[in-house]
Chains A and B, each alone.
Chain A
Amino acid sequence: SQTIHQWPATLVQPVGSPLSLECTVEGTSNPNLYWYRQAAGRGLQLLFYSVGIGQISSEVPQNLSASRPQDRQFILSSKKLLLSDSGFYLCAWSIRGTSGRGGTKNIQYFGAGTRLSVL
């Protein structure tokens, strides 16, 4: 079965410090990968998605970047954190492209999330 891992679970960082959040998927190959941010009391905002190694699409301009160095690894980074970067960050995966039939490719499976507090 497939599993998705995110770490760390919680993180407290000072303003101006760098950030690296990691997400890995097991039990599947060639997944689509996603990073979301959930601000307090708000819905999910898609930050980045990737359909393959080295292929990153950004949904919103911001202080963050993403990389996909390996097929099942997705990293969210920042060189200098801002207060506004605080939030709950979620990684997700889905079956890529036409591999899934009848809509199964559109189902996303989420990690447990990382709660980031920038102070």
Chain B
Amino acid sequence: AQSVTQLDSQVPVFEEAPVELRCNYSSSVSVYLFWYVQYPNQGLQLLLKYLSGSTLVKGINGFEAEFNKSQTSFHLRKPSVHISDTAEYFCAVSDRDSSASKIIFGSGTRLSIRP
């Protein structure tokens, strides 16, 4: 079984400042890792994914994340945030061998950008 822990429920940041949203996972099997973003009253949009290969993955809107297997982490970063990045961010994990492709989501981190 897998689990995902997002350590911060809310992260306030000033505009143009860097941000890191933390995510740790637990799994006894190999996994794929994802970050999704949810803007108010909308569905979830895939931000980036780690499937294999380079541990540093780049996504949309200037975000990137680094897979660290030894620390079982997949932290999300952006060097300079914008007001439009205000949203909730979900880290997620999926068992590589799951035939139903089920995903386990973290509880989310609400990113608020201050001008």
Contact = CB atoms under 8 A, between A and B. Distances in A.
Interface of A: 6, 32, 34, 42-44, 46, 49, 51, 57, 90, 92, 94-97, 102-113, 115
Contacts of A109: 46
A46 B92 CA distance: 12
Given A43-B108, A92-B44, 20 more contacts: A44-B44, A46-B103, A49-B102, A51-B99, A51-B100, A90-B44, A96-B101, A103-B94, A103-B96, A104-B51, A105-B101, A106-B94, A106-B103, A107-B34, A107-B46, A107-B49, A108-B103, A110-B36, A110-B44, A113-B42
A23 to B, nearest CB: 11
Interface of B: 32, 34, 36, 41-46, 49, 51-52, 90, 94, 96, 98-103, 105-108
Give the dominant DSSP class at B's interface. Answer: loop
23 contacts: A32-B100, A32-B101, A34-B102, A44-B105, A51-B100, A90-B43, A92-B44, A94-B101, A96-B101, A97-B99, A103-B49, A103-B51, A103-B52, A103-B94, A106-B94, A106-B96, A106-B103, A107-B101, A110-B43, A110-B44, A111-B43, A112-B43, A115-B41
A107 to B, nearest CB: 6
B32 A106 contact: yes
Contacts of B90: 43-44
A109 B46 CA distance: 7
